[in-house]
């Protein structure tokens, strides 16, 4: 199986190519298609947002106690362009949920849809669908990397993944793999994941498409691995608001519209991507 990357808004470079095509039709306007007038919600309020404490580079990670990553960058830009000041704190996901539940946070950055979370936070309309959402911050794929020549092909059953399955510490996919009773090995960087796979010549690595592409360009890795063309999973990640936040429905809609607009901006996304 030839080395392949799954690229399509799941990988930011394909997002950028797609945005080239839609840049003209995504220019900002005075209002939104659903009738929301964005000028009426630019209040100057301060939004208190919580960022899950995960080492999930380049999407979400903790740098000296500060929430960083592409998800954070897009949300900050969207909120500010909608007329809000933003304060972001980084805590474990359960604490973020408690903060949202007890009115200590207006929203949480970078949540996939989860029925349990939906009792505490409001997702954009249609988020419970498995389809790629127009209101996502980003669509992110997790792909499977194996040592070249292993012959492994993913057919939709995670229990068949070659063990040990190596993942980044804090990766959202870890709990899913453990529930499948797999031998999971957590390491702190993508380079360590691939170095271990290259050394042991067995098992697999599960990581996001951006990290996979970046590291497989490294000459020390480029001829050693295969990337399965079928992603292990593909999820939309959202900015979700606390049901108890004082934000009005118009204000929430305006921010979600701004998230969509900036994600579709070629120049902005190129700038965000280039930082990582």
What's the confidence (pLDDT) of residue 8? 44
The string of pLDDT tens digits covering residues 67-87 is: 999 999 999 999 999 999 999
Assess if residue 2 is contained within a domain.
no
Structural domain total, the chain: 2
Assess if residue 22 is contained within a domain.
no
Whether residue 188 sits in one domain with residue 150 = yes
41 to each of 150, 246, 249, how far by Cα in Å?
A: 56, 13, 10
Mean pLDDT to the nearest integer, 114-128:
94
Whether residue 146 sits in one domain with residue 100 = no
Assess if residue 10 is contained within a domain.
no
Q: Which of 146-160, 181-195, 213-227, 250-264 has the lowest mean pLDDT?
A: 213-227
Q: Which domain holds residue 174?
A: 138-233
Whether residue 245 sits in one domain with residue 129 = yes
| CA–CA separation, 180 and 188 (whole Å) | 22
Assess if residue 1 is contained within a domain.
no
What's the confidence (pLDDT) of residue 12? 53
Whether residue 107 sits in one domain with residue 152 = no
Whether residue 243 sits in one domain with residue 207 = no
Domain containing 87 — which CATH number? 3.40.190.10
Assess if residue 14 is contained within a domain.
no
| CA–CA separation, 112 and 206 (whole Å) | 18
Assess if residue 7 is contained within a domain.
no
Whether residue 112 sits in one domain with residue 63 = yes
What's the confidence (pLDDT) of residue 213? 80
The string of pLDDT tens digits covering residues 128-152 is: 887 899 999 999 999 999 999 899 9
What's the confidence (pLDDT) of residue 237? 96
Whether residue 191 sits in one domain with residue 253 = no
209 to each of 21, 124, 171, 236, how far by Cα in Å?
A: 22, 25, 13, 14
Whether residue 229 sits in one domain with residue 118 = no
């Amino acid at each position: 199986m030839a080395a392949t990357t799954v690229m399509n808004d799941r990988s930011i470079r394909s997002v950028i190519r797609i945005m080239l095509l839609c840049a003209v039709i995504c220019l900002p306007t005075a209002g939104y298609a659903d009738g929301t007038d964005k000028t009426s919600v630019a209040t100057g309020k301060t939004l208190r947002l919580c960022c899950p404490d995960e080492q999930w580079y380049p999407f979400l990670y903790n740098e000296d106690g500060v929430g960083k990553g592409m998800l954070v960058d897009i949300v900050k830009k969207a909120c500010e362009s909608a007329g809000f000041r933003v304060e972001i704190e980084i805590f474990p996901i359960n604490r973020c949920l408690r903060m949202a539940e007890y009115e200590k946070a207006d929203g949480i950055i970078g949540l996939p849809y989860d029925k349990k979370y939906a009792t505490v936070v409001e997702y954009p309309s249609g988020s419970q669908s498995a389809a790629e959402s127009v209101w996502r911050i980003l669509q992110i794929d997790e792909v499977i990397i194996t040592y070249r020549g292993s012959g492994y092909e993913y057919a939709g059953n995670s229990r068949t993944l070659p063990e040990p399955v190596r993942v980044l510490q804090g990766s959202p996919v870890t709990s899913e793999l453990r529930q499948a009773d797999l031998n999971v090995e957590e390491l702190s960087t993508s380079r360590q994941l691939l170095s271990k796979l290259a050394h042991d010549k067995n098992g697999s690595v599960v990581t996001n498409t951006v990290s996979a592409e970046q590291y497989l360009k490294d000459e020390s890795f480029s001829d050693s691995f295969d990337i399965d063309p079928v992603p292990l999973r593909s999820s939309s990640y959202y900015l979700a608001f606390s049901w108890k936040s004082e934000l009005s429905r118009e204000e929430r809609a305006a921010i979600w519209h701004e998230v969509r607009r900036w994600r579709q901006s070629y120049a902005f996304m190129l700038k965000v991507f280039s930082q990582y």
